[in-house]
Amino acid sequence: MSGSIPLVAVVAMAENRVIGRNGSMPWSIPSDLKRYRRLTMGKPMIMGRKTLQSIGRVLDGRDTIVLTRQDHAPFEGARLAATPQAALEIAASCAASRGADEIVIAGGEEIYRLFFDKLERLYVSEVAAAPEGDARFPTIDPATFEPVHSEGPVRHGRDSAATRFTIYRRIAATR
């Protein structure tokens, strides 16, 4: 696995667990993108090829590890991993070299599902909307994860919806 560096998910999720539609987010919430930057800065991020393509570039100040069956990265600077284990090994190495305290699982749906049983914490922006979508975040089981911090809901100037930010911690007895 990732050794002693915890795996965390960072996600914006609608009330119906939708996280995407046709390769993009079905909302525009600039204030949440700022939070995403704060939560991920300086950390390795594991994501799928389609998620990276929807972002449109490798994000500055973070290591981007793309879990894909393809043999080339969609953008220069992304590191390829053919298996979840390889992605974790690359991320652990990046985290050690950066001094990062977490490895971020950054989506999409399939990537979240692959790593869900290994996640220590979930950083969830709960979007006050229920849009149509073709990608969903896994169900957060209250027997597995407990909320340890929550703030909001808030909606800033250009946000298309309000968000409530919640941090969930894996309950130790479920490991």
pLDDT tens string 25-83: 999 999 999 999 999 999 999 999 999 999 999 999 999 999 999 888 878 899 999 99
Q: Report the share of the chain in percent with pLDDT over 90.
A: 90
Domain of residue 66 covers 11-140
Rounded to an integer, what distance in angstroms lies between the CA atom of residue 143 and that of residue 104? 22
Number of domains in the chain: 1
CA angle 65, 110, 74 (to 5 degrees): 40
| CATH number of 95's domain | 3.40.430.10
Does 39 map to a domain?
Answer: yes
Does 67 map to a domain?
Answer: yes
Mean pLDDT value of segment 135-144:
96
- What is the model's pTM? 0.94
- Given a contact cutoff of 8 angstroms between Cβ atoms, the answer to whether 14 and 127 are in contact is yes
Rounded to an integer, what distance in angstroms lies between the CA atom of residue 171 and that of residue 145? 5
